[in-house]
């Protein structure tokens, strides 16, 4: 018992105080849980402005200038954010849309009117000294390109025949010599500020390194810094406020450029994205699991271009045979690719227009060409000899075993070959043992009429020297060779009987069952390789295939083509120069029979530069007259194709364009100027903490940043419409 009541009272009071504290704590925790539940039930996660996106790539940094950016290089990625053009490509709609200016096109398709939007500033602007984008900057950007001294001749070609005219302080006209429906794509080029190049000669404008290493643009992100670290080169961009849509969530973009992918992977924990992720031998992207991989293709294709300037490839049956004999599925499987291409017109749906691999059809097409397999040539020759020997007055065994010094005896009727007739210059004699016949011995030594080792043409001539009949005799002194020749004659007999149907099906043979060994036919064995085809002059079908050492998939593809076409009887000699310069020299000079290379159609999908005869390299102008912009690698010329390509360029009617594309597809399919293989598959990866990433249908790798305004890293919760903290009590009373 508690002896002191006061102690009991203190104990009860102490217990009640702690109980109240506990109950208060429980109440607070319950309230907090309810508040949290209410907050999550009545709010949504929305993007919050801010954050830094860090992307790694394997490349080499170059000065940043839209005029001289290398295609598909990481520099183009940076330039696409620092600079903006009058127009831009939308990878989601696949259309050219307004950017820094609005576009209007005249009814005849020759005048493009661009009107600058208001209050757009260059990145070097300050509150005290704003630097607005003006029409003079527009004129400077494009008129500089048109200057004959401009050091990028390929870019200058895009504006040949274009007159750039200032209309007023906000408007400029681009006047074309003729309608060109794809011209708007040229106006996506980033604008440059005139002020930054004052005093720089046009011929040296590519050497303006001060600008290239600290560029000034009018894009959504401004250049902040360039830092070289032990692992990478880092380029930092920061969001630049602009009065035009769209707005961007991410505040800072950091491009980290590594020397190789191993170095990139070693630091991948510090990256939010990876440009051009390589794949392993299982075609899996080489990135950690916390990264999301997006596979995509560009409007590109890799093809085998036939050099139609070389006579050997002017045979359409040969080109068709090579096309049908190309197993594209095997190639994409070996490369880890997946998108097979059968036409350069990538905007067409060609799902039902695929040239399937068909070795039998390929052999059939090649059978109709002037190139034949040696066994076919040999069999045809033996059949001709057999037919010749079986008709007429002269009859002799087609093969004979005669040692040197022996003679071959021939006989015939004097009724058809009177005395005075000769055989190979030797007069016939009356046969003493048979009245009305003649006899003659062809020697194996000596001069006139002697039978030499190998094939001999034996001719019966009348007294005036006119040919009465001809026969062929093949002579050998080797028993082994005679047995081989005899076996060959049996195969010829079996082939004839097979063709006539006089043999049972299981005993019949075709030319595909035969092979040539040491000049004679024998039965083909399972491990026999297909021999090289020859023409009527016994020239072998040998073609030289040129390709680039980079990317490495080109070499592997070339080796696969070599092995596949060997099964068709075509010998391929691979020519893979070690340096880019050596390859380009051969490419420009069309120094190849077949070229394995890729072509890119960009956003406008314009095939004109690649297949119109304007793109042919005129080799007679070598060496100084060779054009860098001659992209018709097949030296293909077709009046029909030229007409359709021009129509596609000039029409603004989508219906007319599609109709012309369909006709062009048929023309190219019939002419077979190339074998189209595949469209390369690329992979971009981003960390799972980067949200709402989509890339649409890019035409360049850098186009993935055309949807950057939708990406975000940071998130916050916002009450739904009509909801606030004041809604808590009604929510609680409602039993939610």
| Helix pair 654-671, 639-650: axis angle to 10 deg | 160
Q: What is the pLDDT of residue 725?
A: 77
**SS3 of residue 373 by DSSP:** coil
Q: What is the pLDDT of residue 31?
A: 75
Please check the confidence at residue 44 and state whether its pLDDT lies above 90.
Answer: no
Least confident segment among 113-117, 409-413, 586-590: 409-413
Domain 300-370+538-679 sits in which CATH superfamily? Dipeptide-binding Protein; Domain 3 (3.10.105.10)
Q: What is the pLDDT of residue 447?
A: 78
Q: What is the pLDDT of residue 418?
A: 86
Q: What is the pLDDT of residue 627?
A: 85
pLDDT tens for residues 302-332? 999 999 999 999 999 999 999 999 999 999 9
- The arithmetic mean of pLDDT across residues 653-666, rounded, is 92
Long-range residue pairs from 331-334, CB within 8 A, at least 24 positions apart, any chain = 331/557, 331/560, 331/561, 331/677, 331/678, 332/677, 332/678, 334/556, 334/560
* Most confident region among 81-90, 155-164, 525-534 by mean pLDDT: 81-90
Cis peptide before 282 (omega within 30 of 0): no
Please check the confidence at residue 647 and state whether its pLDDT lies above 70.
Answer: yes
- The arithmetic mean of pLDDT across residues 138-143, rounded, is 96
pLDDT tens for residues 583-640? 999 999 999 999 999 999 888 889 999 999 999 998 876 666 788 889 999 999 999 9
pLDDT tens for residues 362-396? 988 888 888 888 998 899 999 999 999 988 888 88
Residue 436 sits at φ, ψ, to 5 deg, of 90, 10
Q: In whole numbers, what is the pLDDT of the chain averaged over residues? A: 90
pLDDT grade, residue 351 (50/70/90)? low
Q: What is the pLDDT of residue 736?
A: 62
Please check the confidence at residue 39 and state whether its pLDDT lies above 90.
Answer: no
Nearest to 202 by CA among 138, 156, 169, 162: 156
Nearest to 598 by CA among 684, 680, 699, 698: 680
Place of tokens 């990317």: 551
Q: What is the pLDDT of residue 4?
A: 65
Q: What is the DSSP string of 324-356?
A: HT--HHHHHHHHT--EE---S-TTS--TT----
Whole-angstrom distance, CA of residue 565 vs CA of residue 544: 12
| Helix pair 552-566, 328-335: axis angle to 10 deg | 150
Whole-angstrom distance, CA of residue 556 vs CA of residue 334: 9
Q: What is the pLDDT of residue 216?
A: 96
Q: What is the pLDDT of residue 11?
A: 61
Least confident segment among 38-47, 572-581, 674-683: 38-47
Residues 63-99 as b/e (b if ≥16 CB within 10 A, e otherwise) read bbbbbbbeebbbbbbbbbbbbbbbbbbbbeeeebeeb
Q: What is the pLDDT of residue 153?
A: 86
Whole-angstrom distance, CA of residue 565 vs CA of residue 325: 7
The continuous run of DSSP H or E covering 238 comes out as: strand 233-239
What's the order of all strands across the beta sheet hosting 454-461? 399-401, 467-476, 454-461, 422-423, 426-427
Which of the 8 DSSP states describes residue 78? H
| Helix pair 359-368, 316-324: axis angle to 10 deg | 170
Q: What is the DSSP string of 9-50?
A: HHHHHHHHHHHHHHHHHHHHHHHHHHHHHHHHHHEEEEEES-
Domain ranges for the chain, please list them. Answer: 5-49+717-733, 52-294+682-715, 300-370+538-679, 374-523
pLDDT tens for residues 496-509? 999 999 999 999 99
Nearest to 62 by CA among 194, 209, 190: 209
Q: What is the pLDDT of residue 521?
A: 95
pLDDT grade, residue 150 (50/70/90)? very high
Please check the confidence at residue 436 and state whether its pLDDT lies above 90.
Answer: no
Contact 691, 713 (CB under 8 A): yes
Nearest to 276 by CA among 291, 295, 292: 295
Q: What is the DSSP string of 465-494?
A: S-EEEEEEEEEES-HHHHHHHHHHHHHHHH
Structure tokens belonging to residue 36: 């949290």
- The arithmetic mean of pLDDT across residues 343-372, rounded, is 81
Q: What is the pLDDT of residue 2?
A: 52
Please check the confidence at residue 402 and state whether its pLDDT lies above 80.
Answer: yes
Q: What is the pLDDT of residue 629?
A: 85
pLDDT grade, residue 7 (50/70/90)? low
Q: Is the dihedral of CA 230, 231, 235, 237 positive or negative?
A: negative
- The arithmetic mean of pLDDT across residues 252-280, rounded, is 94
Where does 52-294+682-715 sit in CATH, by number?
A: 3.40.190.10
pLDDT tens for residues 687-732? 999 999 999 999 999 999 999 999 999 988 887 888 877 877 787 7
Whole-angstrom distance, CA of residue 458 vs CA of residue 469: 9
Q: What is the pLDDT of residue 3?
A: 59
pLDDT tens for residues 174-230? 999 999 999 999 999 999 999 999 989 999 998 888 999 999 999 999 999 999 988
Contact 472, 489 (CB under 8 A): no
- The arithmetic mean of pLDDT across residues 522-543, rounded, is 90
Q: What is the pLDDT of residue 423?
A: 92
């Amino acid at each position: 018992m508690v002896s002191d009541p006061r102690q009991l009272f203190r104990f009860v009071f102490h217990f009640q105080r702690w109980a109240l504290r506990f109950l208060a704590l429980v109440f607070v925790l319950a309230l907090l849980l309810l508040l949290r539940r209410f907050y999550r039930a009545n709010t949504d996660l929305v993007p919050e402005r801010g954050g830094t996106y860090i992307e790694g790539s394997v490349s080499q940094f170059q000065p940043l200038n839209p005029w001289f950016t290398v295609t598909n290089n990481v520099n183009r990625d940076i330039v696409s954010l620092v600079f903006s053009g009058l127009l831009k490509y939308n990878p989601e709609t696949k259309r050219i849309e307004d950017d820094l200016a609005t576009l209007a096109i005249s009814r005849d398709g020759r005048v493009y009117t661009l009107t600058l939007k208001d209050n757009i500033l260059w990145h070097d602007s300050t509150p005290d000294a704003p630097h607005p984008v003006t029409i003079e900057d527009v004129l400077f950007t494009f008129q500089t390109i048109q200057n004959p001294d401009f050091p990028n001749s390929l870019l200058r070609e895009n504006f040949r025949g274009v007159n750039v005219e200032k209309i007023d302080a906000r408007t400029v006209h681009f006047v074309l010599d003729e309608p060109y429906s794809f011209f708007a794509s040229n106006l996506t080029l980033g604008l440059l500020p005139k002020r930054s190049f004052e005093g720089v000669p046009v011929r040296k404008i590519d050497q303006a390194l001060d600008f290239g290493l600290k560029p000034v643009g009018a894009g959504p992100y401004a250049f902040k810094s360039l830092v070289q670290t032990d692992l990478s080169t880092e380029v930092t961009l920061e969001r630049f406020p602009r009065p035009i849509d769209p707005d961007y969530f991410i505040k800072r973009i950091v491009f980290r450029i590594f020397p190789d992918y191993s170095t990139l992977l070693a630091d991948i924990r510090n990256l939010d994205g990876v440009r051009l992720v390589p794949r392993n031998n299982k075609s899996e992207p080489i990135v950690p699991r916390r990264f999301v991989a997006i596979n995509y293709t560009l409007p590109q294709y890799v093809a085998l271009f036939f050099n139609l300037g070389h006579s050997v490839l002017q045979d359409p049956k040969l080109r068709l045979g090579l096309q049908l004999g190309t197993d594209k599925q095997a190639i994409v499987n070996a490369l880890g690719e997946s998108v097979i291409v059968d036409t350069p017109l990538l905007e067409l749906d060609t799902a039902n227009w695929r040239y399937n691999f068909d070795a039998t059809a390929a052999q059939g097409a090649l059978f109709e060409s002037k190139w034949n397999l040696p066994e076919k040539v040999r069999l045809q020759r033996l059949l001709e000899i057999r037919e010749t020997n079986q008709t007429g007055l002269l009859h002799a065994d087609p093969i004979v075993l005669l040692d040197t010094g022996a003679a071959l005896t021939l006989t015939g009727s004097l009724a058809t070959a009177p005395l005075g007739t000769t055989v190979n210059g030797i007069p016939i004699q009356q046969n003493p043992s048979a009245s009305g016949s003649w006899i003659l011995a062809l020697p194996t030594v000596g001069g006139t009429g002697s039978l030499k080792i190998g094939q001999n043409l034996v001719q019966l001539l009348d007294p005036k020297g006119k040919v009465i009949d001809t026969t062929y005799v093949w002579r050998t002194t080797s028993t082994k060779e005679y047995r081989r020749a005899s076996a060959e004659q049996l195969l010829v007999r079996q082939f004839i009987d097979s063709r006539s149907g006089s043999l049972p099906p299981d005993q019949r043979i075709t030319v595909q069952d035969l092979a040539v060994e040491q000049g004679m036919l024998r039965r083909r064995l399972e491990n026999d390789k297909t021999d090289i085809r020859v023409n009527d002059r016994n020239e072998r079908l040998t073609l030289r295939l040129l390709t680039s050492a980079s990317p490495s998939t080109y070499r592997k593809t070339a080796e696969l083509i070599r092995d596949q076409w060997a099964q068709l009887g075509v010998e391929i000699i691979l020519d893979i120069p070690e340096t880019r310069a050596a390859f380009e020299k051969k490419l420009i000079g069309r120094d190849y029979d077949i070229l394995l290379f890729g072509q890119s159609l960009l956003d406008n999908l314009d095939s004109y530069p690649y297949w119109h005869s304007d793109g042919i390299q005129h080799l007679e102008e070598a060496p100084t007259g060779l054009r860098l912009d001659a992209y018709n690698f097949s030296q293909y010329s077709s009046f029909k194709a030229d007409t359709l390509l021009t129509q596609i360029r000039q029409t603004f009617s989508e219906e007319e364009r599609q109709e012309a594309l369909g006709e062009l597809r048929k023309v190219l399919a019939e002419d077979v100027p190339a074998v189209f293989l595949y469209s390369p598959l690329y992979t971009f990866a981003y960390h799972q903490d980067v949200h709402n990433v989509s890339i649409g249908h890019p035409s360049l790798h850098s186009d993935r940043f055309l949807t950057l305004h939708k990406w975000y890293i940071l998130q916050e919760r916002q009450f739904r419409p009509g909801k606030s903290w004041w809604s808590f009590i009604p929510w609680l009373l409602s039993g939610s």
